[in-house]
Amino acid sequence: MPKEWPEGTTYLRAPSYSKKLTKDKLNTLLLSKAVLSPKEPILQTRGPYANVKIAVISNASHPAHGQHGLYATQHLPPDSFILPYLGFVHDQTELDETSDYDLSLDRELGIGVDASKMGNEARFMNDYRGISTGPNAEFRDVLVDVGFGIVEKRMGVFVLSTGKSGKRAKGIGRGEEILINYGKGFWAERKSVTE
Ligand SMILES: C[S@@+](CC[C@H](N)C(=O)[O-])C[C@H]1O[C@@H](n2cnc3c(N)ncnc32)[C@H](O)[C@@H]1O
């Protein structure tokens, strides 16, 4: 279990698939390695993740002061894989509109990953707004080897690429907070709920 893991939240090393997901939907997430091109990058990965740490935010000027954030424990180069985003994998019939931890995995099929009750270190990543000028990490689709010739489609967190101007060439430094872009929609929805 990673340090600072909150009591009452389940730590996952692999996604937790809802029993209500149809076979068709599961088949889009769990693929046979044999049908993939040999050029397709396939990751081998399993937590806990030593390249990151969960910490309580003690800085009073941080907008998520008192909550947790996710920090790099080592230099993370541009484009490098950090960790997968794990949680409860569900379709629209089990969508929890109140969750602040739900990430889309397959928009067309309405499949999401909700880390509100179970997840891994990635659930502690904050949005860059009010903390930095921009994000330093992003979500990308990944394929993960889970053995028995099966490959799983997941969302992975990656360090942003260097960029045309080269301004992100340093990647993420040791001790830096890992920040993503939740999208304007995330904050617009919360604003309309509180208004
Ligand atoms: C996925 S969680 C991130 C982890 C969260 N800080 C925690 O300790 O569990 C999303 C929630 O974190 C907080 N948060 C994330 N980014 C923020 C930001 N830039 N400003 C204010 N609050 C933020 C909000 O409460 C949001 O609903």
178, part of any domain = yes
Ligand 1 pocket by C-beta < 6 Å: which residues?
63-64, 67-68, 100-101, 123-124, 126-127, 129-131
C-alpha 23 to ligand 1 mean position (Å)? 34
Q: What is the DSSP letter of 110?
A: T
Please give the structure tokens belonging to residue 37.
């091109």
Nearest protein CA to atom 27 of ligand 1, as residue: 100
Q: Which of 57, 100, 124, 180 to mutate to test the pocket of ligand 1 (most atoms within 8 A of CB)?
A: 100
CB 71 within 8 Å of CB 148 = no
C-alpha 64 to ligand 1 mean position (Å)? 6
What digits encode the pLDDT tens for the residues 78-135?
999 999 999 999 999 999 999 999 999 999 999 999 999 999 999 999 999 999 999 9
173, part of any domain = yes
What digits encode the pLDDT tens for the residues 164-178?
889 899 999 999 999
4, part of any domain = no
C-alpha 148 to ligand 1 mean position (Å)? 37
What digits encode the pLDDT tens for the residues 41-86?
999 999 999 999 999 999 999 999 999 999 999 999 999 999 999 9
5, part of any domain = no
Helix, strand, coil % (nearest 5) of the chain?
Answer: 15, 35, 50
pLDDT > 70? residue 136: yes
CA of 128, closest atom in ligand 1: 19
65, part of any domain = yes
C-alpha 190 to ligand 1 mean position (Å)? 12
93, part of any domain = yes
80, part of any domain = yes
Question: For residue 82, what are the domain limits?
Answer: 10-194
pLDDT at 193: 60
How many CB atoms neighbour CB 185 within 10 A? 8
Question: Which one-letter amino acid corresponds to residue 137?
Answer: A
CB 121 within 8 Å of CB 48 = yes
- CATH number of the domain residue 180 falls in: 2.170.270.10
CA of 115, closest atom in ligand 1: 1
- Domain count across the chain: 1
CA distance 124 to 190: 18
List alpha helices for the chain, DSSP H.
Answer: 23-29, 184-194
CA of 69, closest atom in ligand 1: 6
ipTM value > 0.90: yes
